[in-house]
Amino acid sequence: MIADPCHSLLLPGFYGSQEGMLAKTKRTIFNGGDTSDTCGYILWCPDFTNQPTVLGSGLAMTGTANVFTWSSASPSLKPRNNIARPYGSQLLAFDNQGEPSPTAHTGTDPAAALLESQLVQDVRTLSSCIELTYTGSIVNSSGELAFLESIPLDAILDGGTETAPTLNGTMNVNDLFNYATTYQRLGVDTVRTLSIPTPSSSKFRTEDEHAIFVEEGKVSYASTIAKAQQPTFYGLAWRGVDVTTSPAPMSISLLKNIEWRPKPVSGLSHAPPVALNDGTTWRKALDSLPTGFNTRQVLSGAYQATKTVLAGAKMFYGPRRQVGQRLGYDGY
């Protein structure tokens, strides 16, 4: 379930006991691209299950947040976090609408609708993944991608340098690239990054437990329970995307596997917890996986076909070869 959250069979006992029912949840966010935004990021704390609740008077998102998206024309620009523009209050994902003081957008966790239904009492996260697919023109595919993992909660709101006029320490794209240890070129195929379970992940949480509050007229801040538990964020950041001739759209999917317990008023019976192992299954699973298992490219036929076509073009237009010279894809 850790190594392949998208396709794995969900089994009970991940944290040592069976206390609820298992479910896969998914949500897709589309970045339509902008003719000026060459960079951006998505950050997610899957241990919590939040979503914005109301629209502020200034057409801003407010409420509770554990998913943030941001795009900008320069990787050195940073989202605002002040009284006028709280971090996460941007109305639309990846769309700053020409705002003179843009900020990040608060997204909806894929399990939020289920948690806030009349059936569910609380949930805990088993595993999760973020998949990004560049859906623009192959010819215009460019830029680099950073895989972000284990970003501390406090760093989201105060991990960058404080600069005027915001005087807040939110991170820009360059900050996130400096923080990351794994990079690759932004290509035409899907990339995937996975969350890494921590002791905090094993806790059941209700819809009243939040990671970060986004409120109108206030600087965004972490909740008391989040500060105590110190969950981590992970995600993807990109920069150098070519938007000179057309936008560079991307499709981003969030998938989360959860264990949930029903509310007493739901009419569903609730069996008492059953211990299935010593509670170290998730730790043993992590130890058995190779380093870097959580960041990889999902190769497809489209990628292989494109690679073959480009390689063939290089062979055809490459330098003239000497008789007897080895013929290879590297053009020599």
Q: What is the DSSP string of 295-326?
A: EEEE--HHHHHHHHHHHHHHHHHSPPPPTTPP
Please, what's the b/e burial string for 74-106 (b: 16 or more CB within 10 A of its CB; e: otherwise)? ebebbbbbbeebbbbbbbebbbbeeeeebbbbb
Structure tokens at 43: 């950050």
Q: What is the mean pLDDT of residues 16-39?
A: 88
Q: What is the pLDDT of residue 275?
A: 78
d(CA 107, CA 130): 13
The C-alpha angle 286, 111, 3, rounded to 5 degrees, equals 20
Report pLDDT for 12.
87
Q: 330 pLDDT exceeds 50?
A: no
Residues 6+ apart with CB under 8 A from 295: 147, 149, 182, 191, 192, 193, 194
Distance CA 200, CA 198 (A): 5
- Residue-wise pLDDT for 226-274, tens only, equals 999 999 999 999 999 988 777 778 999 999 999 999 988 777 776 677 7
Distance CA 59, CA 23 (A): 34
Q: How far are the Cα atoms of 57, 65, 140, 244, 272 from residue 210, in angstroms, in the given order?
A: 22, 7, 39, 40, 26
The stretch 286-299 carries a mean pLDDT of 72
DSSP state of 57: T
Looking at residue 100, its pLDDT comes to: 72
Euclidean distance between CA atoms 108 and 28, whole angstroms: 10
Model pTM? 0.85
Q: Which one has a higher pLDDT value, 330 or 222?
A: 222
The architecture of the domain spanning 17-298 is: Sandwich (2.60)
Specify whether the CB–CB gap between 96 and 102 falls below 8 A: yes
Chain position carrying tokens 């329970």: 225
Q: Which of 63, 52, 60, 115 is nearest to 85 (CA)?
A: 60
Residue 34: pLDDT over 90:
no
Q: Is 231 exposed, middle or buried, given 0-12, 13-18 or 19+ CB atoms closer than 10 A?
A: buried
C-alpha to C-alpha distances, 35 to 42, 46, 149, 185, 275, nearest whole angstrom: 19, 31, 29, 20, 55
Q: Predicted confidence band at 4 (pLDDT cuts at 50, 70, 90)?
A: confident
**Nearest Cα to 33, choosing from 64, 83, 73?**
73
Q: Which position has the higher pLDDT, 234 or 277? A: 234
Closest CA to 238 of 174, 329, 152, 162: 174
Strands 61-65 vs 52-55: parallel, antiparallel or unpaired:
antiparallel
3-state secondary structure of 112: helix
Fill in the DSSP letter of residue 5: T
